[in-house]
A and B are shown apart, each in its own frame.
Chain A
Amino acid sequence: MVRQDHAMESDDRDVVYRRLFDKKQREYLRTVICDEIIEEHRKSPLGQHTEPLERLLMYFRHAPQRDKYVVKRDGKSGKFRIAQLSGNRDAPLSGVNDREYAAAEETYHEIFLLRVRELMELDA
């Protein structure tokens, strides 16, 4: 539902429309999430995917920078962790959890699952 007070949230009214657009996107994308899509991504996180998975990934990738998931490589240990862009230049990454991964590729599906979980919980 469009509310009048949404228009007051930003000087840039474009943001208001984007929020509504993304909400509609999510409504659709929640309908495509199934075990098959999760398994397809687990097997092949990079490369060509089926159309529903490709759309889902597009939505995740097009999200605004703030809070976007990234992978942090530790310079000393060479291990990887999942992090988020904080939007704060002085501390640009915020940690998600303490789990370490030996290879960057191992994080891709974990990030996907985090994004799917958030998608299912948003707008509730």
Chain B
Amino acid sequence: MAEIKIFGYANKISVKQGDSIDLHVSADGTATADAQLVRLIHGDEHPDGPGFVAREIDHPVNGVWSVKKQFTQLGSYLIVDDSERRLNIGGSFSLFCYVWPTLPNKGRRQCVMGRWDTRTNEGYGLGINPQGRLEFWVGDGKEVDYVMAELPLIKKVWYFVGVSFDHETGTATLYQDGLLNRYNSLIGKVAPYEFSSHVQTKFRFKQKNREDVPFVVAGARDFHELRGRFINDTYSGKIDRFGVCNRVLSREEMDSIRGGRRPAEDSIVAFWDTTAGYTENGIGTSVLDTGPNALTARGVNHPVRCLTGWNWSGKNDCFRLSPSEYGGIEFHQEAVTDCGWEVTKTMRIPGDLRSGAYAIRLRAGDGVGLSEEYIVFFVRPAKPESKLCFLVPTASYLAYANEKLSFDAQIIQPMTGQPPIISDIDIETYKHRDFGLSTYDSYEDGAGVSFSSYKRPIVNMRPKYRISSMNIPWQFPADLSIIGWLEQCGHQYDVITDEDLHREGLAALAPYKCVITGTHPEYVSESMLDAQEDFVALGGRLIYMGGNGYYWCVGFYEDEPWCMEVRKLDSGMRAWAARAGEHYLQTTGEKSGLWRNRGRAPQKLTGVGFIAEGFETSAPFRRMPDSYHRTVSWITEGIEGEIIGDEGLAYGGAAGVELDRYDLSLGTPPHTRIIASSGGHSDNYVLVTEELLYAYAGLVGTLDYRIRADMTYFTAPNNGAVFSTGSIAFGHALPVNNYQNNTSRLLKNVVDNFVKDGELPGGSWTLEEKQWR
């Protein structure tokens, strides 16, 4: 009997009371699964905490569901909207484009462009053959004729490639020329390669075009008995402007196009200009056809845009400065941003379902390991009534979604200082890759993953999951320790997500007096950051519960809130580096990378910012002199002694994993008080790279005084305030001894006072004290 495996995702990560949500499920080895709606309370199974806690909720959706195997389309590509079959060319024609292949030696066919059916061998295509050479082919359903270049393509070099096919004579003329300049390719002109190849041959057979085959760029249509039609022979690399002409183009005409000129207008069937459509806010996923038929090419699985093209001169670093040099659009064989599964069930969220973290729990067979799934989503109130709000950092959940560092990242064991603990689910997702990668992973060709979506199962956005490389809960399962704390803190609370905040801005936060963040809200869009800054400036109280927050600048297309874009660049603790000239988001036009590098270091909002990371051990905080000042002593009320947080579910302390530090030079409000600081971190804690001008010996925990977490507090206008923990491990410390510990007590002091209207404790200061220094 086949092993039972069950996976799913929801079409929304945030849903309001009274609204509906679609659930998509795929299963192996079973036709049914038991479904149960659960409210998630705590997710860390560490023996020193309360363990996994969830409450079953009555709902009509509970019961036995019919499930089936569903398939995922891997690979990014373009598919052309050609309802009038303009590209169903029966006579002579020419194809051309610029290519920058990244895996020409992959050893399998990669279709660059064409109207080709790989199952029936019908149509025409231009691509890279298994020998790594440019090839053009036609098929009539019985026979296929090929012509290939004399030379293999060199990876990451720009070429102009094309073919002319004379239907009358059967003459196929292949065109390949290198376009390497001083900037646009991996290698320079001193590398003595041959790039050009011009081959002519006579085909015995002609193309026969099936009506139903689409014109595809970076792939070709295929068919499988179980999954039906799909796109196969996907391509890895960049493509720049490409087109189809309705006759044989001469060598001179091809030379002209190679030089950047349009083909003769009367010959154009389609000319997709990848540089058309740029605005100052980026560009969409569809590529415009500027020819007479306007055959738009629609992007699937988010091909990457705003990339340097064949003619990039190296002078301009952004598409806005020279859009004509930014025709590059990149495809990856492993990209997936929407599994596209059929809806298994739609459920309505009851109007009285309390706001919180929920999941549909699915079990089949013994319901253990791969045969148990939690499809997580967050319910927000139709009408906010609480004073306290937990802001769920869903953008950061997307960033880490299905990360595979333990398998692929050589740096991970030096970084974490321990062997990874790998579970069955890690192996399953690594083997099959159908659920896609995280922004901590790279594609096979080395390019970093810049898009991440929740329209796919996210195996690490589940309760109980422990990130393999660090053996602790990370992101969502770690944030359940905050939810667990909120459940017992005595205050009514709502949850909203980054997605809500990004779309609605300040309006999403305005109903609340106090907003509490997750343990690691690392990825934020401009509107998310603006909203939180305005919330505090207008009198809101923010509790930043984490470390390394407000770090990366991310973007979303307005109509695709499920898919986040980030580019990693310049400095910062980063899993990959965007290539030169490719630092701007296609979703918004903004420069990505660290907010700090755009003048908005996290210190300006929270008082602290990323300073070090380390794993394997955590440390406690020790009270600092400021904490005894009568204006802030209420924060540590009821806490005996100087030590705070000497226990925790993340390596035994409240200060650990990723640490933030007070820094006036980066915008910490000058009146900020340091309530407590950690110290004594091991040498596994290393200084973050954005702090480095020169690298030198000794930038580690036992030798650099900066490597510490600062717990800070400052007041803001209109009775606003910000309290920051400066440590990811702080949230992990809350559940110890069933929330009876001094980390929990300290947070209670802050929350109890932050949810009150009017002045904060310590508000009755003398004028002199208000000046703080």
Contact = CB atoms under 8 A, between A and B. Distances in A.
A92 B431 contact: yes
Contact of A107 (B414, B419, B431, B616): B419
A58 B651 CA distance: 20
B664 interface: no
Given A48-B682, A76-B369, A83 B417 contact: no
Interface string B346-390: 000000000000000000001011100000000000000000000
A117 interface: no
Contact of B407 (A80, A85, A111): A85
Given A46-B417, A85-B407, A92-B407, 15 more contacts: A46-B418, A46-B617, A47-B682, A47-B684, A48-B683, A57-B417, A61-B417, A65-B407, A65-B408, A65-B409, A65-B410, A68-B413, A71-B420, A71-B422, A111-B419
B433 to A, nearest CB: 8
B492 interface: no
Nearest to B425: A75
Contacts of B430: 89, 92
Interface string B496-527: 00000000000000000000000000000000
B762 to A, nearest CB: 38
B427 interface: yes
Contacts of A74: 424
Nearest to A48: B682
A71 B424 contact: no
A42 interface: no
B368 A72 contact: no
24 contacts: A46-B418, A46-B617, A47-B617, A47-B682, A47-B684, A48-B683, A57-B417, A61-B413, A61-B414, A62-B413, A70-B406, A70-B419, A70-B422, A71-B421, A72-B421, A72-B423, A73-B424, A75-B370, A75-B423, A76-B366, A92-B430, A93-B427, A108-B418, A111-B419
Contacts of B684: 47-48
A47 B427 contact: no
B683 A54 contact: yes
Contact of B368 (A45, A76, A92): A76
A104 B418 CA distance: 11
Interface in A91-107: 91-93, 104, 107
Contacts of B369: 75-76
A90 B420 CA distance: 19
Interface of A: 45-48, 54, 57-58, 60-62, 64-65, 68-76, 80, 83, 85, 89-93, 104, 107-108, 111
Given A48-B682, A61-B413, A80 B421 contact: yes
Contact of A64 (B410, B423, B425, B701): B410
A121 B418 CA distance: 23
A39 to B, nearest CB: 19
Contacts of A68: 413, 419
Contacts of B616: 46-47
Nearest to A47: B617
Nearest to B369: A75
B571 interface: no
A90 B427 CA distance: 9
Contacts of A76: 366, 368-369
A104 B427 contact: no
A94 B408 CA distance: 15
Contact of B431 (A65, A71, A90, A111): A90
Contacts of A60: 413
Contacts of A46: 417-418, 616-617, 651
B702 interface: yes
Contacts of A47: 616-617, 682, 684
Given A70-B422, A75-B424, A93-B427, A48 B407 contact: no
Contacts of A83: 422
B350 to A, nearest CB: 33
A81 to B, nearest CB: 10
A77 to B, nearest CB: 9
A83 B420 CA distance: 10
A69 B422 CA distance: 11
Those 4 A-B pairs whose CB atoms lie nearest each other, nearest first: A75-B369, A75-B424, A46-B616, A48-B682
A76 B414 CA distance: 30
A93 B422 contact: yes
A9 B343 CA distance: 52
Nearest to A73: B423
A108 B407 CA distance: 18
B753 interface: no
